[in-house]
Structure 1
């Protein structure tokens, strides 16, 4: 990995701050070019704000409609002019091999950003993430930890200019 920042921790006071942080990260993904595709794992307990954060990422791409967690469909695609964003929620996945049957490998690649909630349920099938995010409830807000796990992830993280708390 490069000498770029590989970890950031933020305190997000409320839902609006969570959406705003997602939007900052989404813009950093766009600015990084995403030519080779990016994979982001979103971790945290139920209700920690993973889908709320994803809504912010999608806003950076220009999507202002509803963003629901694709718990039953496993993936919700969002098509944009130059990019595709895939929002995965693997919470109800019974076995990681089920991902193979839905052709999951086709979702990861050039010009795509994949946001994966409950990624631990897809171990052995999912590609390695470029960024790993962990949301944890903390008081009235939440703590967001971002960890770069590739050079592309470090580049995105370096370009993400989050508001100071």
Structure 2
């Protein structure tokens, strides 16, 4: 099977640009994909992973605060026909812990899963449709979005 390697790179000038990118991803999911997606988020602490996810959750229709799931491992958002799960696996000590919380139930067709620190849950979490890397660039952030599945390819094409 051919590995999918399409990617989209860019610069995010500030927090509002990062939120706008998250909202753009949400719009693509709602209007073009019409199904859930799994996104792995990579980047140092403070690089914008939660900010990007906040934009996505708001773009999917959530009104209110979007908080980091650093201490809860997952923050769920039930939005009309969608379920959005924001995972932060930074404090996970053993991937087996995910089995006890019913991790498989989070990856249904109408679920969008944004997973920070996914390497901590390998073997227990679904493979990504997209890999997003965020990095510092002075006061701005660079973003690299890489498709990992055909669904991810559709997102990259919609962003182009």
Scaled by the length of structure 2, what TM-score is found? 0.94
Q: 5 Å matches for 1:133-148?
A: 133-148=132-147
Quick check: 1:43–1:118 contact (8 Å CA) kept in 2?
A: yes
Q: 5 Å matches for 1:64-103?
A: 64-103=63-102
* Matched positions, count: 159
CA distance in 2, matches of 1:121, 1:34: 29
Structure 1: gaps (5+ residues) = none
Deviation at 1:28, TM superposition (A): 0.9
2:12 corresponds to: 12
CA distance in 1, matches of 2:91, 2:83: 23
Quick check: 1:34–1:110 contact (8 Å CA) kept in 2?
A: no
Quick check: 2:84–2:113 contact (8 Å CA) kept in 1?
A: yes
Structure 2: gaps (5+ residues) = none
CA-atom RMSD in angstroms:
1.7
State whether structure 2 residue 121 is matched by structure 1 residue 115.
Answer: no
Quick check: 1:75–1:86 contact (8 Å CA) kept in 2?
A: yes
CA distance in 2, matches of 1:10, 1:64: 27
CA distance in 2, matches of 1:28, 1:45: 26
Scaled by the length of structure 1, what TM-score is found? 0.91
> Deviating runs (4+, > 4 A) in structure 1?
none
Change in 2 beyond 3 A, CA 1:89/1:34: farther
